[in-house]
């Protein structure tokens, strides 16, 4: 009872500390600082970064911190992972395939951890190494007393669904280690399980791991990858002045073509009006001839 009360008090203290940090965090120009630390020409696209990773959470400090975690994750890990996958997919005559996955299930373990306690307070945030408990079969160890003889079992209250989820991950990982294909090996993936498709140039497939919902996702990181690819291309050019000049030049050309089109249409309209007027004049009946008098008045 005392240990449970202490755990509750620790969680409440962690909540209080986190929200105090959030209130302080939103007063910082954290996106500018992070972009400046990673790019020499980050000012060229800082506004676009804010539109993607700050503005959607206006007025919500928890959401802002979640988006900042997305920013750090995308720039440090996800972009480079996808870049590597795309590069490998373009290599011809490869004897091996690449398999990508997205993991989205939070462990229900109650093991005390400052990091895990903080992450639990953020919606839809999965911490580092969250899948390792399931890959190494920790939920399955509930039935082995020898493993838990010196461990508090109350912390490891995994459900039957989590045990089954762990078995799925063990099958995929073991098959891949043995054969290079997560679907083939001594651990047979039956028809009730999803076939893990390789990542190719034509099909950007990911296996999405969530308890009771293992399924395929396509083009999961494409939008994020294209966004940062554009940022890195601007960075590689050295500055954004050329980009601005090019944008202004393109705008000028479009405006010039638009005005030229209007002028041409006006000239054509005037020409048609004149031509129409000439045709009307030519169709008038000739005036009758009046005989000229030969007499001269005196």
Q: Is residue 10 a part of any domain in this protein? A: yes
Q: What is the pLDDT of residue 55?
A: 87
Bridge partners of 82, per DSSP, are none
**In which band, very low, low, confident or very high, does the pLDDT at 12 lie, cut at 50, 70 and 90?**
very low
pLDDT > 90? residue 158: no
Q: Is residue 166 a part of any domain in this protein? A: no
**In which band, very low, low, confident or very high, does the pLDDT at 36 lie, cut at 50, 70 and 90?**
very high
Whole-angstrom distance, CA of residue 117 vs CA of residue 105: 15
Taking residue 270's Cβ as centre, other Cβ atoms within 10 Å add up to: 10
Question: Chain-centre distance of CA 29, in angstroms?
Answer: 22
**In which band, very low, low, confident or very high, does the pLDDT at 16 lie, cut at 50, 70 and 90?**
low
pLDDT > 50? residue 8: no
Strands 215-218 and 205-209, by their bridges, are: antiparallel
Residue 248: give the domain boundaries. Answer: 240-275
| Together in a domain, 259 and 208 | no
CA angle 151, 152, 157 (to 5 degrees): 115
Domain end (from 188, 216, 236): 236
Instruction: Please give the helix or strand (H or E) that residue 217 lies within, else none.
Output: strand 215-218
φ, ψ for residue 205 (rounded to 5)?
Answer: -100, 140
Q: Is residue 125 a part of any domain in this protein? A: yes
CA angle 219, 225, 228 (to 5 degrees): 165
Express as a percent the part of the chain with pLDDT over 90: 38
Instruction: Please give the helix or strand (H or E) that residue 102 lies within, else none.
Output: strand 100-103
Number of structural domains found in the chain: 2
187's tokens: 């651990």
To the question of pTM greater than 0.85 for the whole model, the response is no
Question: Chain-centre distance of CA 136, in angstroms?
Answer: 30
| Together in a domain, 228 and 250 | no
| Together in a domain, 74 and 125 | yes
Q: Is residue 174 a part of any domain in this protein? A: no
Helix axes 222-237, 79-89, angle to 10 degrees: 90
């Amino acid at each position: 009872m005392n240990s449970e009360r202490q755990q509750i008090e620790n969680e409440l203290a962690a909540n209080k500390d986190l929200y105090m940090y959030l209130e302080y965090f939103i007063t910082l120009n954290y996106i500018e600082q992070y972009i400046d630390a990673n790019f020499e020409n980050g000012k060229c696209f800082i506004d676009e970064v804010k539109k993607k990773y700050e503005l959607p959470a206006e007025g919500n400090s928890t959401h802002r911190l979640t988006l900042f975690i997305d920013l750090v994750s995308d720039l440090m890990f996800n972009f480079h992972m996808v870049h590597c996958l795309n590069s490998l997919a373009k290599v011809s005559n490869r004897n091996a395939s690449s398999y990508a996955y997205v993991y989205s299930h939070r462990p229900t373990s109650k093991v005390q951890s400052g990091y895990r306690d903080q992450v639990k307070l953020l919606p839809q945030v999965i911490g580092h190494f969250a899948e390792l408990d399931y890959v190494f079969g920790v939920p399955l160890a509930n039935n082995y007393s020898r493993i838990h003889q010196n461990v508090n079992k109350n912390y490891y209250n995994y459900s039957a669904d989590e045990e089954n989820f762990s078995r799925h991950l063990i099958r995929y990982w073991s098959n891949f280690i043995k054969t290079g294909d997560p679907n083939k090996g001594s651990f047979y993936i039956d028809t009730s399980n999803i076939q893990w498709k390789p990542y190719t140039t034509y099909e950007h497939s990911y296996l999405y791991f969530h308890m009771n919902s293992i399924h395929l996702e396509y083009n999961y990181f494409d939008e994020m990858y294209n966004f940062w690819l554009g940022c890195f291309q601007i960075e590689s050019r050295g500055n954004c002045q050329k980009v601005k000049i090019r944008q202004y030049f393109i705008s000028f050309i479009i405006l010039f073509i638009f005005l030229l089109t209007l002028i041409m249409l006006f000239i054509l309209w005037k020409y048609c009006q004149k031509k129409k007027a000439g045709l009307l004049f030519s169709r008038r009946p000739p005036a009758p001839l009046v005989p000229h008098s030969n007499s001269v008045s005196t």
